[in-house]
Amino acid sequence: MTTLPGQVAAADAGPPPTDPLVLAAAWLPPAGSGVTPTMTLSTIGLDGYPSARTVLLSQFDGRRLHFHTDTRSRKAAELAAVPRASMTIVWPEAARQLVVAGDVAPVTDREARIAYDARTRYLQVLAWVNDADLATVPADERRTRWASFEATGGGAPLDPPATWGGYALTPVRMLFWTGATDGPSNRLAYERRADGSWGVGGLAGLT
């Protein structure tokens, strides 16, 4: 569903749902759609400072938000130390922003394999060749190694490398921001209670 600034989508009209996962399902692509929005993933750095980067949201399964990375990456080390993160997804054309904070856990090997198979060929090859050693060589050498990898495989389907890993974030806080050109912006803030239910409140739309 796409909404232009100044319009109100059905998901934004009327009283807010008691379960934010219902609203998230209305905003996010359905599982299996092949649509993988970019998002900012923020973790807690090993030095205590915030650490952020842009990654793909692999899928929302109705309960958790999935993403994948190289297990040798900085974010993997940070999540091993403190398995908590936040995600920020922005739809400028729809005047929407979703911020989710929660607990992160590795996905199963089967889930990771399904996500790898759904990636484009470019991203599959990237998972194999784009390591720390490749980053140290000139651009021409990086392209040569890329072409060599593809030539060796002959374009055959790829299995995920041993360093391919996936994670899923279970939300504890969810914030839905909706903008408009004909009125004030607004935020719905949800927080999971100890019993698993959700509290919800409206906030000014300042981000």
Stretch 69-85: mean pLDDT, rounded?
97
Contacts of 181 (CB under 8 A, 6+ apart): 5, 6, 95
Lowest mean pLDDT among 11-15, 102-106, 181-185, 186-190: 11-15
* Higher pLDDT, residue 150 or 202: 150
pLDDT-based confidence at 27, cuts 50/70/90?
very high
Residue among 52, 38, 55 at smallest CA distance from 92: 38
State yes or no: pLDDT of 181 exceeds 90.
no
pLDDT of residue 205: 59
pLDDT-based confidence at 9, cuts 50/70/90?
very low
- pLDDT tens digits along 58-74: 999 999 999 999 999 99
| φ/ψ of residue 189, rounded to 5 | -110, 120
* Higher pLDDT, residue 83 or 15: 83
State yes or no: pLDDT of 11 exceeds 90.
no
pTM tops 0.75: yes
State yes or no: pLDDT of 203 exceeds 50.
yes
pLDDT of residue 31: 87
What whole-number distance in Å separates Cα of residue 50 and Cα of residue 70?
Answer: 20
What whole-number distance in Å separates Cα of residue 11 and Cα of residue 22?
Answer: 9
pLDDT-based confidence at 4, cuts 50/70/90?
very low
| φ/ψ of residue 206, rounded to 5 | -70, 130
- For residues 124 and 157, the answer to whether their CB atoms sit within 8 Å is no
pLDDT of residue 32: 85
pLDDT of residue 12: 54
Domains of the chain, with CATH numbers?
10-119+162-204 (2.30.110.10)
